[in-house]
Amino acid sequence: MVNIHTSHRLLFILPATIYLILVFVCAIWPALIQQELDQAVPKPFPNELADRGRELYRSYNCVTCHTQQIRADHRIHKEVDGVRVVPVLKADARFGQEIATQAEEYAHHEPPLMGTQRTGPDLMSVGARLPDAQWHYWHLYNPQSVSPGSIMPPHRFLFTTTRPPADQEFDFEKVHLIKGLGVPKGKELWATPDAKALVEYLISLTREGVVQAEEAGG
């Protein structure tokens, strides 16, 4: 009988085998599953501008205060016609979501921007709730102008009150002024290319394809 305490070969082979199994289960297998999801799901960001906006979203560390995940409450699931139905966590339902986020919604997201806490609202479907680019410009320039009581800091570095040269106006977007925005009297407000990209990314977050598929299946 081979004794692990006296067999140097077995003492090496057994831990090495366990290590390789764990590597496959914890790293390789999930990566293969993710590759299949990436191939089955189209790229989520509709254009290069939205793609660049996502990188700006990351660089501004928006994930510190905003999540992109709608959690399911598995404690109160029920069976409907033999199908297990899991409702959205009550704390997340206030964002107008009835369907928890699915794994395929994070395909092509490198990395997924799920966030860790909700100092601000969840943004998983902000483009469906707030599809108007002008609203997002107002909110970025002065959050309190459209969200009274908001503690979000203003992002005025994304704007300019100096009219861009005529040959560059296409790269900027003029912001319609509203009461309480705080633009100096007699000045115009222009969203910079970075502001345009960030807002394009935000309004691309709709969950439209996933929600429609879920509703069709139900």
Tell me whether residue 32 is exposed, middle or buried, using C-beta atoms within 10 angstroms of its C-beta: 0 to 12, 13 to 18, 19 or more. Answer: exposed
Residues 40 and 44: their CA atoms lie apart, in Å, by: 12
Residues 218 and 212: their CA atoms lie apart, in Å, by: 10
Averaged pLDDT, 189-199? 98
So where are the chain's domains?
A: 61-123, 125-209
Specify the pTM. 0.76
Residues 128 and 17: their CA atoms lie apart, in Å, by: 49
CB contact set of 175 (below 8 Å; sequence gap of 6+): 134, 137, 138, 141, 159, 189, 190, 191
CB contact set of 168 (below 8 Å; sequence gap of 6+): none
Residue 43 host element (H or E)? none
pLDDT at 1 (0 to 100): 55
**Tokens (6 digits) for 185:** 């009297």
- Per residue in 10-67, pLDDT (tens digit) is 777 888 899 899 998 888 887 777 677 666 666 666 789 999 999 999 999 999 999 9
DSSP notation for 130-181: ---HHHHHHHHH-GGGTSTT--PPP-GGGEESSPPPGGGGGGSEEPPP-TTS
Residues 52 and 165: their CA atoms lie apart, in Å, by: 23
Mean pLDDT of the chain: 85
- Per residue in 157-185, pLDDT (tens digit) is 999 999 999 999 999 999 999 999 999 99
